[in-house]
Amino acid sequence: MSKQIEDNKIQGHQIKDQSQCTQRQTLLSVEVKVEEADSDKPAKTAWEAMLAVLSSNDSRARILVLCLVMVIAGTYVGVRVNQSWIAVDDGILAQSAVRVLQGQLPHSDFVEIYTGGLSFIHAAAFRVFGVNLLSLRICVFLFFLTWVPALYYIALRFTPPVTAGMVALLAIAWSFPNYEAAMPSWYNLFFATFGAAALLRYLEVRSRRWLFIAGLCGGISILIKVIGFYYIAGVLLFLAFLEQSDNEQRGTEKNSWGYRAFSAGALLAFLGTLIYMLHGRLAAGEFYHFLLPSLAVVGMILLGERKAGAGTGERFAALLRLVIPFICGAVVPIVLFVIPYARAGSAGGFFSGVSSSTIAHAIDLAVARPASPKYIVAVLPLMAFLAAGMCWKQFQGRMVGVAVALLAVLAATCTLVQYPFPVPIYLCYALPLTLLALVAIVTTVRKQHGTYVLASLAGLYLAFAVVNLIPLHLAEYSHAFGPRDVLRVPRGGLLIEDEPYFEDLTIFLQQHASNGLMYAGNDCPELYFLTGLKNITRDDNGAPAEEVLKALQSTDVKVVVIFESPYFPSAQTGPEVRAEVIRRFPQSRMFGIFHVYWRE
């Protein structure tokens, strides 16, 4: 059996592996070795031989397991990619992409609910796959297929191939298959994972181009949805930790109070910003869900300053060598994206539009609260284990190491994706990073092999996700869903509930909107997309009452739809708009939860 390497020091150089007689460059963190299963005994069966191959850590085993994971994940998710319909989500994503396809700019020519970059990606998908709802699912599915190897790559840094494959499948089962819509938060998760993989690669080779690539991932993530800033914040915290860890290894004793003051100020400013963001709803649940993880990370970095010994100038130079490539990478895609707005003279409108839509969206979503603090009792043992690991004298850059710290910090900041709408599906947007961080910590600090116990636990959660969580849509719906059928309209293609009346409604609206104009409010953008009719306002999700009244009075619109059952209370149609609609459109008919008004 191969001898497990113990008590590794962080040296940044290659470590000799006596079991394979080869040298390979390692992470700055501990190199975790796993015993080969019965390598000193001949395999007695084909099954044992296959297990021996998969348990080894050579390139053949790594590639074989990756292929198996890709086939399993791709097949399982691929056959379900046209399911999980929530009309307002698919509707706003598709309608925004159609507007971009027609040459409009988000936040300039129409009200965009997100940053705008995703609408360009989806517009490209429409151009390639056709203008229908299924095209968006194909687009996000292709991104998902590129995400799977990144998950596996990260898990492989800490576990052997078979375990890494199971960890990847577990992370997959608790994330994207629960809601296959092309939501921006999935893309944020994908790019955060890509960035984490790039940073792990940087720790191995110390080439700054990987910091630049990690920055690119952050910049693209922000262009998709502004919560990409959580990833940026997490990486900056990690780079501060990395500088501190490298500085400790050098072991010099110099005065660095200037740097320490700057570091403490920056960390407290981060906490202050986070508290300000949460203060309107900062109760016990928000504290331990959203604030406590970041508080622990900041505390860990501040405590680590006790061992740092280099001078202020030396430490600032080291930090800038890490931060500058990353920030440059993040800025590049944002600058390129803003160029068309600058040429059109609407760059200011873009930034103000992003800010206003973000604030408005956050207010609309603030209708849910995290779980009660009483449930924290169930996770106290896990928290105690993690706290013990972080306070352990060898945590700073030795047994747990910067690689584990990277995943822990990203998990702490990216969990903020759940704020201010912590419903179950939003947990799935952050859970893979948390899972990877836990796997890294558990597999790194263990002294005895617990592979079978860990595999059994992972198998239990994987089975629950595949058998119950995903098929029953537990994370997606708050109610039992009824029979579903394919939406058979030119722009459909998804399996949905109430397909007959959506199809009838689409045809009815097209027949009564002879001039191609319509108003549908609020929170029913799918009607604009499915019918192909033009909105008389700039906001497909629901314009302010003043804008709606002005549009109704100044256009020759023939048909109006009022959504009688919006999910968010703020989306209810105002009484003044309803009165004007009834006055101007004498004929009406109900299609399920949609009230249609029209005139000849």
Judge if 441 and 466 occupy the same domain. no
Q: How far is CA 141 from its chain centroid?
A: 14
Structure tokens, 284: 């016990």
Q: Is the peptide bond before 420 cis (omega within 30 degrees of 0)?
A: yes
Looking at the fold, whether 475 and 536 belong to one and the same domain comes out as no
User: Which of 485, 511, 541 is a domain's end point?
Assistant: 485
Residues 87/526, Cβ–Cβ less than 8 Å? yes
Q: Are residues 397 and 292 in the same domain?
A: yes
Q: Is there a single domain that holds both residue 222 and residue 157?
A: no
Q: What is the pLDDT of residue 357?
A: 79
Can you give the pLDDT at residue 251?
Answer: 53
Give yes or no for residue 22 having a pLDDT over 70.
no
**Contact between residue 588 and residue 560 where contact means Cβ atoms under 8 Å apart:** no
Predicted local confidence at residue 33, as pLDDT: 37
Q: Which two three-digit tokens encode residue 77?
A: 């998710």
Identify whether 54 is part of a domain: no
The pLDDT assigned to 195 comes to 97
Contact 407, 433 (CB under 8 A): yes
The predicted model gives 426-435 an average pLDDT of 88
* Residue 438 falls inside a structural domain: yes
Output the pLDDT for position 249. 58
294 is in which domain, residue-wise?
184-445
**Is residue 49 included in any domain, yes or no?**
no
**Average pLDDT score over the chain:** 81
Q: Give domain status of residue 126, yes or no.
A: no
CA distance readout (Å), 442 to 43, 152, 430, 439:
30, 17, 19, 5
Residues 430 and 454 in one domain: no
Confidence class for position 293, pLDDT limits 50, 70, 90: confident
Q: Are residues 273 and 393 in the same domain?
A: yes
Residue 394 has pLDDT above 70, yes or no: no
Instruction: Find tokens 């990353």 and name the residue.
Output: 326
Q: State the pLDDT at residue 265.
A: 94
Phi, psi of 525 (to 5 degrees): -65, -20
State pLDDT tens for residues 72-116.
999 999 999 998 788 999 999 999 999 999 999 999 999 999 999
Last residue of a domain, one of 415, 445, 475: 445
**Together in a domain, 502 and 359:** no
Quick check: is 51 in a domain? no
- What average pLDDT does this structure show over 258-279? 90
User: What is the per-residue pLDDT for 56?
Assistant: 64
Same-domain pairing of 170 and 255: no
Q: Are residues 363 and 440 in the same domain?
A: yes
What does the pLDDT look like over 248-266, one tens digit per residue? Answer: 655 555 677 888 899 999 9
pLDDT at 421: 75
The number of domains in the chain is 3
Same domain, 467 and 505: no
Element (H, E) at 595: strand 594-598
Residue 42 in any domain: the answer is no
User: Which residues, 6 or more positions from 84, have their beta carbon under 8 angstroms from its beta carbon?
Assistant: 178, 179, 180, 181, 473, 476
Measure the CA–CA gap between 295 and 300, rounded to whole angstroms. Answer: 9
> Are 395 and 529 in a shared domain?
no
Mean pLDDT over residues 285-307, rounded? 83
For residue 35, being part of any structural domain is answered with no
Report yes or no on 177 lying in a domain.
yes
270 and 386, same structural domain?
yes
